[in-house]
Structure 1
Amino acid sequence: MEGSESAAADDDATVSLLDYGAGNVQSVCNAIETLGFRVVTVQRPADILAAKRLVFPGVGAFGSCVAALRELGYLEPLRQYLMDDRPFFGICLGMQTLFEGSEESPGVQGLGVLPGSVARFPRSLGLAVPHMGWSGVAPLLRHPWPLAEAPPRFYFVHSFRVPMPPGGHAPWALACSEYGERFVCAVRRGRCVATQFHPEKSGEAGLGLLAAWLRGGGPEATLAAEPAGVVAPPPPAKRVIACLDVRANDQGDLVVTKGDQYDVRQAGQVRNHGKPVALAERYYRE
């Protein structure tokens, strides 16, 4: 990430990142750079209005996020950027702040570019909170750009959600997911797109979504969006956690082997199942 550069130095391959200091944004930068784009971080309020594309990966609490944006002088430029219908992608809390408020921080006003408030998953559902893992997504609009018509599962981690709008549809509600109940997991208002899930942590599906948004070609064709009908999202997927035991072999190379609680040698050599980076990349892609 080229944090020393001003986001005002935008060109056609540059994406401005709004990092207000709340958490690690490196995975977002890595995903964008993997797609062939250059990331510059917002350094001052004027950089927001100068951006060609703005990505906002919010993390943490709603109230703390809004307070940080206000203290940095970012809140009003960001609201103006959104009201001007400029290309924007919000992630997780970056989606929630688009609404008027949140149960998480009573009395704190959000950006208010979308109607309604964010609410906690009801305790009556009897489910573990936060909702964490891979869950299915179902489009709510007939032309769900930048989502695919039949999007796969994406990675979620959140305790608060945007409730379904009355009647199950609204012009801004792009897609829904389900965790005990249905909730809105992706929104779109003109060229503003945001997701509750993390595309940067969702493998090829997430990269495909980011690529569609970064390369454009969709907003004008989808302004007259229509409800897609009620489609049940696929259920959450079982989580498979890969554990790679890594150690050095006799030649000093790092290799993936099998545990340290028993003999890791086979025919006199350290058992070698492959290179850690190559196997981690394979796991990510599969």
Structure 2
Amino acid sequence: MSRVDAHHHIWDLTVREQSWMVGPELDPIRRNFSIDDLAPQAAAAGITATVLVQTVGQVDETVEFLQVAASNDLVAGVVGWVDLTAPDVAEQLTGLLARPDGSYLKGIRHQVHDEPDVNWLLRPDVQRGLSAVADAGLVYDLLTKPPHLPAAIETARALPHLTFVVDHISKPVIGDPLDPWATDFRRLAALPNVTCKLSGMVTEAPWSTWNPTDLQPYADTVLEAFGPNRIMFGSDWPVCLLAATYAEVVQTAETLTAALTPTERESVFTTTATHTYNL
């Protein structure tokens, strides 16, 4: 059976800096990662298609990712970046989609969790940009932390024609009490235009001591709130390498979803991502 990794990155530090890569604790991933580095690990884990996700707020990176997708059988789609606040955001999206490799652009993302304003998503110019994403037939990846969830809920409610994908289950700190994250998360999941990636959990847990049991209550909350046909697996490679190998991340996702039926597991590992991103 084909399987999709709905969330990974690549970067070349000789081309551009990764401004988020601050502090010595990130030294293990402070090197170049290419799609050729991922390919054998994906193959070993039975992953046949991936979604390549932006890491910086630069359109140039999105263009490069589209080129990677067009020249590589593994990458089936790209979640890129445009400035949602730009007056010409619709034209920028049209230009990207009109490229020969533009059909690989499936979604847009912004590092909302790095914005000092937890209500950044509610700004009128951002809302206008998000409407342009919807009009372009693209989805929007929500990169948030728990404090941003109220604004995310209001935004998803205000834009029912836009499909939102929550990255990394909104990054709760594994080991902290489930609330208030779980309560807000369920409110977001109640909106039909929102899906979620089962991703990013290993790096929100203690990197050297976590085990799947630590993650299970969070995964169970996600599974209960969204249901398997609105959940998709993502590795968050190579960021995940801070806490786990690629194989361990895939195996952990299999463990966390072991109670599902075969059809439900197929939704998590294949169908949801294929449908949501039109792969």
The two structures share one fold, judged by TM-score above 0.5: no
**Structure ranking higher on relative contact order (CA contacts 8 Å, 6+ apart):** 2
Larger % of strand: which? 1
Larger Rg: 1
Q: TM-score, normalization: structure 2? A: 0.32
* Greater helix content: 2
